[in-house]
Structure formats: C-alpha cells, structure tokens
Structure 1
Amino acid sequence: MHPLSMVLLGLAMSTDAFAAAIGKGATLQRPRLTEALRIGLLFGTIEGLTPVLGWLLGLGAAQYITAWDHWVAFALLVGLGLHMIRNGLAPAADDPDAPSARRPGFWGLAATGLATSIDAMAVGVGLAFLDVNIAAVAGVIGLCTLVMVTLGILLGRVLGRMAGQRAEVVGGAILIVIGAVILCEHLSAG
C-alpha cells in the first residue's frame, strides 16, 4: 500500500474518533493537554489494534475468496464510507452528558474508543485480501487517531458537534475513494 494511501486511510479511520473527541471535549471545562493526550493515546491504541484483529479474521477467510478480494475490499470500504457519510449528515442528537463537566472515566472512554474503531476492524478484514504491511497500516491508523483525538478534545469547546459531523463525512468520502483506487488498481493489473 502506498504511504499516502496509508495516511489517508489513517485519517479516514480517525474521523469518527475525532467527532467523538469533539463531543467529549465540548463537555469538559478547559481540558488540559495531558488529559487530551491520555484520551488520544487510549483511542489511538484501540484504533490501531482493531484493524490487526480484522486482518487476522480476514486471513482466515482469504483462501475462500482470493479471486474476488479486490471486490470485497471495495465493497467494505464503500459501505463503511457511505455509513460514515450518513452518520455525518444525520442531525445531531442531544447528548444527555453534555451539560456535565465531569471528567470521563477509563472504561467509558475505552467503550467509546472501541465503538469508534469497529470500522477499522472491518477495514482490517478488507486489507487481509491485499498485499499490505498490516503493522505499518495499523501504526499509521493508531497515530492518526492519537493526534486527531487529542486535537478533538482540545478543540471540542470551540468546534462543537458540527465540525465533528463534517469530519465524519470527509472520512467516509476518503474511504470510498480508497476503495475505488484499490478496485481500479486490481482491475487494471488484471
């Protein structure tokens, strides 16, 4: 996988975590950099591990569908991209936690990090059908998520939910483009 594709994939995978971080940041009163980094590290670690898990699951199925692998990757990325765009365009529901300035706990943050990383696991399944260095891809996804979540926490009070939703739309569009590029590369090579 081309390094630029890895970075774009990492950014796309981190947009839903960025949106969640903006929401969390909006609920905190003056979040500190250390707190934002701690939350970013937690989200980045989870987001970096889930594509590896998906990749391992995909390897188990790879022998059955290797002739259609590029179509599987394309379908997964486009499906996830469309889902992210739909979520980003949906009207924001009021968060019952919004008025609270209470600091988020570890398990609540870990659950949010896991929920926002399910798409990365599905991308990992699709990557199992391609010739990629999963450790490099997972590292880039985790690093992008760490940075995006840290920024999202710090910018949450300023940006609010609107920017978070738009970020998810952009991330979904990036996934669709990556899926189309993978399909075009495989079809033109064959």
Structure 2
Amino acid sequence: MDINVWLGQLMTITMIALALGFDAFSLGIGIGLRGIRYLHILKLSVVIGLFHILMPIGGMLTGKMMSVVLGEWATVAAGVLLILLGLHMIVNSLKEEETQLFDHRTFWGLMLLAFSVSVDSFSVGITLGMFQLPLWITVLLFGCFGALMAMLGLTVGKRVSHSLGEYGETLGGVILVVFGIYFIV
C-alpha cells in the first residue's frame, strides 16, 4: 500500500475515532457533573474503551459482508451511513431532556452505559468494513479514543458546566457528516 494512502486512511480513522469519542465525552460530562469517584472514572473509561473495540469489530465484519453484496455502491452506502449517524448525533445533542435510566455503579448499569455510547461505533464499523481499512489499527484507535474521551469527559464533568458536553456531541456529529459527504463525493 502506498504510504500516502496509508497515512490518509490513518488520518481518516483517527478523526472518526475522535468523533465517536465525543459521544463518550459528552456522556462522561453528564455523569461527572453528578459526582463520581476517580476509581469509577477509571473503570467506566476502560469498559467504554473495550466496547469501542468490540462494537466496530462486529460492525466491520458485517460491513465486509455488505460490501460483497453492494459491490460498487458500497462507498455511497458507507457515506450515507456516516451522514445519518452524524445527523443522529447532532439531533440528540440538541434535545433538552436528559434522563438517566440506570446506575453506572452497578455491573448492568456499566454494561448498558458502555453499550449505549458504543452503538454508533458498530454503525461506523459497518462503514469501515466496506473500505478494507486495517482492522487492528481501527479498533485500537476507536478503543483508545473512546476510553480517553470518556475519562476526559468524566473528569471535566466533575469541574465544569454541562453545556460543553452538548457541544462535544454536536462536534462529533458534524465530523461524521463531513466524512460521509467526503466518501460520497
């Protein structure tokens, strides 16, 4: 593979990982504002990072199967998926109501929280599976960014106002929409 192509793919994966991490960041701020111990910050961040690795793997495997079926339309379908996911993130960030249906300190609450912020990683994994990007680099970046952004959001949430989290999720959605348009064009 040409070094320029590889670097371009690496930059694309990194930006998508960052965009997906903003979801964990914004949720982390919301939880952090309610008060959280540093041990819980570490535990939540690690579990969210693991889910940001596992969910795209499942999505990429699904995406590889879809690319065989969709053929040359795979790139357009991938771009449309990214745009829809980005728009969904933007709309969710603009909603005013926020409810917490689970306690992140319990095992099932932790699993549900990690799953909820990683579902979009599955969708993006489907898209990335259509592009034949390196699996191990992709999932490691997704996991690292998911964990780091969750940790940052939880820590910042302990100290600052809630409005920053909404902007973080909006920015993540905008980044996904831009990449979706790039894939289509």
**Shared fold per TM-score greater than 0.5:** yes
Superposed counterparts of 1:65-104, under 5 Å? 65-93=70-98, 95=100, 104=105
Name the CA shift for 1:20/1:45 in 2 (closer, same or farther; >3 Å): same
Q: State the partner residue of 1:129.
A: 130
Superposed counterparts of 1:134-173, under 5 Å? 134-173=135-174
1:58 and 2:59 aligned: no
Q: Kindly, what percent of the aligned residue pairs are identical?
A: 28
Q: State the partner residue of 2:121.
A: 120
TM-superposed CA distance for 1:132, in Å, is 0.5
Contact 2:40 2:105 in 1 (8 A): no
Amino acid at match of 2:120: D
TM-superposed CA distance for 1:63, in Å, is 1.3
Amino acid at match of 1:162: S
Q: State the partner residue of 2:25.
A: 18
Secondary structure of 2:162's aligned partner: helix
TM-superposed CA distance for 1:94, in Å, is 5.2
Q: Please identify runs of 4+ aligned residues in structure 1 that moved more than 6 A.
A: none
Q: Return the alpha-carbon distance in structure 2 between the equivalents of residues 141 and 67 of structure 1.
A: 26
Amino acid at match of 1:87: N
Contact 1:73 1:126 in 2 (8 A): yes
Name the CA shift for 1:23/1:62 in 2 (closer, same or farther; >3 Å): same
TM-superposed CA distance for 1:160, in Å, is 3.7
Residues 47-86 of structure 1 deviation map (CA, whole Å, 9 limit, x = unaligned): 1110110111122222110110111111000000000001
Question: How many residues of Structure 1 are paired with residues of Structure 2 in the alignment?
Answer: 178
- List gaps (5 residues or longer) in structure 2: 1-7
Contact 2:58 2:125 in 1 (8 A): yes
Q: Return the alpha-carbon distance in structure 2 between the equivalents of residues 106 and 161 of structure 1.
A: 25
Name the CA shift for 1:113/1:95 in 2 (closer, same or farther; >3 Å): closer
Name the CA shift for 1:96/1:10 in 2 (closer, same or farther; >3 Å): closer
Amino acid at match of 1:84: M
TM-superposed CA distance for 1:9, in Å, is 0.6
Q: Return the alpha-carbon distance in structure 2 between the equivalents of residues 59 and 96 of structure 1.
A: 34
Please, what TM-score do these two structures have when normalized by structure 1? 0.86
Secondary structure of 2:96's aligned partner: coil
Residues 152-186 of structure 1 deviation map (CA, whole Å, 9 limit, x = unaligned): 111113234311111110000000111122223xx
Residues 62-118 of structure 1 deviation map (CA, whole Å, 9 limit, x = unaligned): 211011011111100000000000111111335578xxxx87223211111101111
Give the alignment's Cα RMSD to 1 decimal.
1.9
